[in-house]
Amino acid sequence: MRLSDVEIERLRQKLRFRVGYEISFACPDIDDLVQETLKRFLNASQADKLRTPEATAAFVNGICRNVIFEYRRRLYRDMPMPEIVPEPPVKEMPESERFELRQALDEAMKQLSQRDRMVLRYFYVEERSTEEVLELMGLTLENFRVVLCRAKERFRQIYSRSVQYRAASGH
């Protein structure tokens, strides 16, 4: 595939906009990245690596994306390691608040269906593996994912309503 000078210049302008949009128009390396993309594209087209000429734009876009990723990796690789900030000390929750929290969680769990309650308990409270939960509940992996997602959402709704009610009533 042979491109004319006008087509190459048009492609260069589009690539310049694409690169500028991705990494910032103020970046001093835009032209270098565009040049590298064009070089790789022309080398690939001369080596007949472009299987479908109708997909030239997608092929160039893929090359451009790879060039940008490599540029970003290079930038972050050369940066100094971030300073490790120590974790803040764990604040102990007062026993009264812990009791209220446990009570709210138990109430929310009681409002769930038996299956939802068991899936959440096995998976999160007892920390059983997915395979164990599948075997205990007689579910397929696909069913388990759906049941778990829906159970979490139902629990979240019930618990949120409970928290809102407690806040409104002053408990």
Q: Domain count of the chain? A: 2
Q: d(Cα 158, Cα 107) in Å, to the nearest integer? A: 9
Instruction: Please indicate, yes or no, whether residues 69 and 117 belong to a single structural domain of this protein.
Output: no
Q: Which residue range is the domain that position 130 belongs to?
A: 95-169
How many CB atoms are closer than 10 A to CB 54?
A: 7
The pLDDT, as a whole number, for residue 81 is 67
Find where tokens 């812990």 sit. 98
At 84 the pLDDT is: 77
Question: Residue 91: its pLDDT value, please?
Answer: 80
What CATH code is carried by the domain that includes residue 140?
A: 1.10.10.10
Q: According to the model, what pLDDT value does residue 30 have?
A: 93
Residue 104 and residue 62 in one domain: no
Closest CA relative to residue 105, chosen from 127, 126, 120: 120
pLDDT per residue as tens, the chain (171 positions): 677 889 889 989 999 999 999 988 888 999 999 999 999 998 988 888 878 878 888 889 999 999 999 998 888 777 776 677 777 777 887 888 888 888 888 888 999 999 999 999 999 889 999 999 999 999 999 999 999 999 999 999 988 888 777 777 765
Q: Is the pTM of this model over 0.75?
A: no
User: Residue 170 has what pLDDT?
Assistant: 64
Q: For residues 105 and 154, state if they share a domain.
A: yes
Residue 56 and residue 103 in one domain: no
Those residues with Cβ within 8 angstroms of residue 130's Cβ, 6 or more apart along the chain or in another chain: 123, 141, 144
Give pLDDT, residue 117. Answer: 92
Residues 63 and 115 grouped into a single domain: no
- SS3 category, 58: helix
Q: Are 108 and 57 members of one domain?
A: no
pLDDT given for residue 171 in this prediction: 59
State pLDDT tens for residues 121-155. 999 889 999 999 999 999 999 999 999 999 999 99
Distance CA 122, CA 129 (A): 8
- pLDDT score of 92: 83
Q: Assign residue 127 a region (left: φ > 0; alpha: ψ between -120 and 50; beta: otherwise).
A: left
